[in-house]
Chains A and B, each alone.
Chain A
């Protein structure tokens, strides 16, 4: 999909949700350091986008700041829509580990378009830390 179309769709989602302004520095990066810098997390959404209100799985990779994979960590998933004051419609969980610091997050679901936060609380060998990802869920509209 054309990058400009994606952006326009994201904007439309924000606009039609009442024109709520996300923070000006909203960062949509899928690789982020944790708040205290103990880890680096990369989130990977499914290759085929899921429909609104459809359960689906994400993957994540946990490494040290130097890039060494961090297995066997405890990860809690939380989040919600900051502009609406409500949380995620489901309680996603890390259900299994993959090689090289990979983890599978099942039970992901978005119930509407707009700005969502995905918050991860990590307890690993370097201690506890947390990170928040922003994602903008938009509609692709046949008939456009």
Chain B
């Protein structure tokens, strides 16, 4: 997927129709919409076959080691890494449910405020979590462990559990563990007052040793997560057949689904943000999704940039394996754009029909409600929505440059039908690298 610069004058939509008039496939599959050559280029960009390998994370030196991947798999499912012994990563990221939990907000040892996100493909994301408050998969994996309502555990307890339960597997990847058995069982810079006091009482060099074990736990979990790959969907099968000119393509997508796909890449503007093989631009947008708690609207990305910059586990931190010059995303991070207020990361759409509810806090129960939200385009409770709408039919839309998303009832139904084609063709929701 590359971009090119056009040095010729850009023409308008009206001209486009003329330009493409002769570009239609001379032998379209029977019973289906015809695709222009240019539409086919966009369709190709959505194909799973076009997804490159996830970029190497220079901050995690072990991410490709099989022993780290296997250790990560064990840690991912280990409930002992929680305060009550009942919560693992897999609790909210269930492998049988596309690594999410089907709940509006996740439940660990307590109840969270946002929806758990699926994990497959997360190695392609620059920023992790809905607000991007972490800059790597391994740093992300550490957050829930010390979060009071997720795993609810703390740094020394995690390190001591590794020494007790995973010493051999850990040391095979990361080398000898430091001595940990004489440290307080509950100490962390992130915990409650007692845990923080206990942490402060530990000598600095030993604190760093504990934090390094903790960071390595994240690196192993990230290695496992990065080994998970998307399984092809019905859409992928259709796209592959279509793009190689196979006339059998016509049988792989129903007419309403194909119409929905055309809307997705055109009039409905979905592909503006849900682009590429993962159906996400990996960026942050405010689309006016109503807050779950109207008394405390979620600031999203606007509140997260300071957190990721000061995170000791970021790319520039002491536990990163990267050279500082490799941490360009952090270096060139947007921090002062008003558009970050109330903005959340564009979620990928692979498998989306099988993981309701939707949005960052499960605000919508069905895909139809999601589509209707983009048509309604309400004003944002916090910040400003990027969407445009001719509210109450009064005057032109506020952002005249952007067309409102106006869909008929039949088009809404077609679009939802299309979104169901993004589910895997087999019962397996993912594959292991």
B394 within 8 A of A: no
Most buried by A among B12, B271, B281: B12
Tally of chain B residues near chain A (CB < 8 A) = 61
A85 touches B45 (CB 8 A): no
Cβ proximity bits A103-142 to B, threshold 8 Å, 1 near / 0 not: 0001101111111000000000000000000111111111
Q: Hey, which chain B residues are within 8 Å of A8, CB to CB?
A: 19-20, 37-38
Report the minimum CB–CB distance from A130 to chain B (whole Å).
18
User: Given B44, B268, B271, B384, which contacts A141 in the complex, CB threshold below 8 Å?
Assistant: B44
Report the minimum CB–CB distance from B10 to chain A (whole Å).
5
A6 within 8 A of B: yes
Q: How far is the CA of A21 from the CA of B6 in the complex (A)?
A: 16
Q: How far is the CA of A109 from the CA of B15 in the complex (A)?
A: 29
A91 touches B334 (CB 8 A): yes
Q: How far is the CA of A1 from the CA of B3 in the complex (A)?
A: 12
Q: Hey, which chain A residues are within 8 Å of B37, CB to CB?
A: 8, 144
Question: Which of B71-79, B88-96, B107-115, B397-405 makes up part of the contact surface?
Answer: B397-405
B332 touches A138 (CB 8 A): no
Cβ proximity bits A71-103 to B, threshold 8 Å, 1 near / 0 not: 000000000001111111111110000000000
Which positions in A face B, CB cutoff 8 Å?
1, 3, 6-12, 14-22, 24, 26, 28-30, 45, 49-53, 55, 82-93, 106-107, 109-115, 134-144
Of all chain A residues, which has the CB nearest B268?
A: A18
| Given A12-B16, A16-B265, A144-B44, 11 other A-B residues pairs in contact with their CB atoms under 8 A | A1-B4, A10-B4, A17-B271, A19-B266, A19-B267, A28-B7, A85-B399, A91-B333, A139-B3, A139-B41, A143-B244
Q: Hey, which chain A residues are within 8 Å of B5, CB to CB?
A: 6, 28, 30, 45, 49, 135-137
Cβ proximity bits B323-341 to A, threshold 8 Å, 1 near / 0 not: 0000011011111110100
User: Given A6, A17, A19, A143, which contacts B6 in the complex, CB threshold below 8 Å?
Assistant: A6
Q: How far is the CA of A109 from the CA of B3 in the complex (A)?
A: 11
Q: How far is the CA of A17 from the CA of B44 in the complex (A)?
A: 15
Q: How far is the CA of A91 from the CA of B331 in the complex (A)?
A: 9
Cβ proximity bits B259-299 to A, threshold 8 Å, 1 near / 0 not: 00000011111011101100001110100000000000000
Q: How far is the CA of A50 from the CA of B328 in the complex (A)?
A: 15
B9 within 8 A of A: yes
- Do A87 and B334 form a contact, CB below 8 Å, given A7-B6, A14-B16, A49-B4? yes
Which positions in B face A, CB cutoff 8 Å?
1-13, 15-16, 19-20, 37-42, 44-45, 50, 126, 243-244, 265-269, 271-273, 275-276, 281-283, 285, 328-329, 331-337, 339, 384, 386, 388, 399, 401-403, 405
Q: Hey, which chain A residues are within 8 Å of B243, CB to CB?
A: 143
- Do A141 and B45 form a contact, CB below 8 Å, given A1-B4, A30-B7? yes
Of all chain B residues, which has the CB nearest A18?
A: B269
Q: How far is the CA of A138 from the CA of B2 in the complex (A)?
A: 7
Q: Hey, which chain B residues are within 8 Å of A113, CB to CB?
A: 3, 275
User: Given A11, A88, A106, which contacts B15 in the complex, CB threshold below 8 Å?
Assistant: A11
Q: Hey, which chain B residues are within 8 Å of A22, CB to CB?
A: 10, 12, 401
A15 touches B332 (CB 8 A): no
B1 touches A51 (CB 8 A): yes
Report the minimum CB–CB distance from B333 to chain A (whole Å).
6
A115 touches B285 (CB 8 A): no
B267 touches A28 (CB 8 A): no
Q: Hey, which chain A residues are within 8 Å of B339, CB to CB?
A: 85-87
B10 touches A52 (CB 8 A): no
Q: Hey, which chain B residues are within 8 Å of A24, CB to CB?
A: 12
Report the minimum CB–CB distance from B204 to chain A (whole Å).
34
Of all chain B residues, which has the CB nearest A12?
A: B38
User: Given B2, B6, B10, B13, which contacts A50 in the complex, CB threshold below 8 Å?
Assistant: B2
Report the minimum CB–CB distance from B390 to chain A (whole Å).
15
Q: Hey, which chain B residues are within 8 Å of A138, CB to CB?
A: 3-4, 6
Report the minimum CB–CB distance from B55 to chain A (whole Å).
9
B16 touches A139 (CB 8 A): no
7 A-B residue pairs with CB within 8 Å: A16-B271, A55-B328, A84-B402, A85-B386, A90-B329, A111-B283, A136-B5
Of all A-B residue pairs in the complex, the 8 with the closest CB atoms, nearest first, are A107-B332, A141-B41, A12-B38, A18-B269, A10-B6, A137-B3, A111-B281, A19-B13
Q: How far is the CA of A59 from the CA of B288 in the complex (A)?
A: 37
- Do A20 and B402 form a contact, CB below 8 Å, given A9-B38, A107-B331? yes
Q: Hey, which chain A residues are within 8 Å of B42, CB to CB?
A: 12, 16, 139, 141
Of all chain A residues, which has the CB nearest B273?
A: A112
Q: Hey, which chain A residues are within 8 Å of B272, CB to CB?
A: 17-18, 84, 112, 114
Q: How far is the CA of A102 from the CA of B320 in the complex (A)?
A: 34
B6 touches A88 (CB 8 A): no
